[in-house]
């Protein structure tokens, strides 16, 4: 088990070269878009920097109630995701109450698959557990799971998924340590395998 994966957005003052050298970070998943119109202002520059440093790179889209195809097109045009870039749907509560529905998540996944030939990784926690319940979703089960649970053992994985692919174990404040990356609080994630296995399996689709 390794914990050398971080996820960040423009609000995180993260120095990628520093965290690579100081904390051994080998993979970064960065917010690219939210809804049909918002673009993370740090995405493109950090993607270039990460690539130059030899870091694994991923892009995530924060889903909202906006028209799904517009969200997909906005995400794909911004993420500029070639075959070695992880693509993810962030399915969580929107602070403004504009929560993507589970049907919209299905539509998002279906459109991503149609346009790229890949199934995105699904990030989720409470909202995902509540939306899926005890049922097994025939479409979403094809997606890898990026599971947020701030504890040592990630309990309560929805039955749709056999296991997690990535486990977000801290938001930089809650959950097991380490909380800091580069001396700053940061979301950190675990992978059930070795560094070589992570590099071999990335981007999981």
Tell me the whole-structure pTM to 2 decimals.
0.97
The CATH number of the domain holding residue 130 is 3.20.20.80
- b/e 148-170 (16+ beta carbons within 10 angstroms → b): bbeeeebeebbebbeebbbbbbb
Query: Cα angle at 119 between 201 and 188, to 5 degrees?
Result: 55
Tell me how far CA of residue 89 lies from CA of 136, 180, 184, 194, in angstroms: 18, 25, 25, 24
pLDDT at res. 50: 98
pLDDT tens-digit series, residues 116-151: 999 999 999 999 999 999 999 999 999 999 999 999
**Residue 13 scores a pLDDT above 90:** no
**Residue 46 scores a pLDDT above 90:** yes
Distance (Å, rounded) from C-alpha 19 to C-alpha 152?
23
CB neighbours (10 Å) of residue 193?
Answer: 14
Question: What average pLDDT is seen over the chain?
Answer: 97
Distance (Å, rounded) from C-alpha 75 to C-alpha 98?
17
Collapsing DSSP to helix, strand or coil, 82 comes out as coil
The boundaries of the domain holding residue 53 are: 2-201
How many structural domains are present in the chain?
Answer: 1
């Amino acid at each position: 088990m390794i914990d050398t994966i971080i996820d960040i957005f423009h609000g995180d003052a993260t120095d990628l070269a520093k965290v690579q050298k100081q904390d051994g970070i080998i993979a970064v998943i960065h917010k690219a878009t939210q809804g049909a119109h918002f673009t993370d202002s740090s995405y493109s520059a950090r993607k270039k920097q990460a690539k130059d440093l030899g870091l694994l790179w991923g892009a995530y889209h924060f889903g909202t109630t906006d028209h799904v195809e517009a969200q997909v097109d906005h995400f794909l045009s911004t993420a500029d995701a070639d075959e070695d870039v992880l693509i993810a749907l962030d399915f969580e509560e929107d602070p403004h109450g504009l929560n993507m529905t589970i049907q919209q998540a299905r539509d998002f996944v279906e459109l991503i698959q149609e346009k790229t030939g890949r199934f995105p990784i699904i990030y989720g926690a409470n909202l995902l557990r509540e939306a899926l319940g005890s049922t097994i979703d025939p479409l979403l089960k094809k997606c890898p799971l990026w599971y947020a649970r701030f504890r040592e053992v990630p309990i309560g994985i929805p039955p749709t998924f056999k296991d997690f692919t990535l486990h977000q174990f801290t938001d930089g404040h809650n959950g097991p340590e380490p909380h800091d990356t580069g001396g700053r609080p940061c979301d950190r994630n675990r992978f059930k395998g070795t560094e070589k296995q992570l590099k071999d399996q990335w981007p999981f689709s």
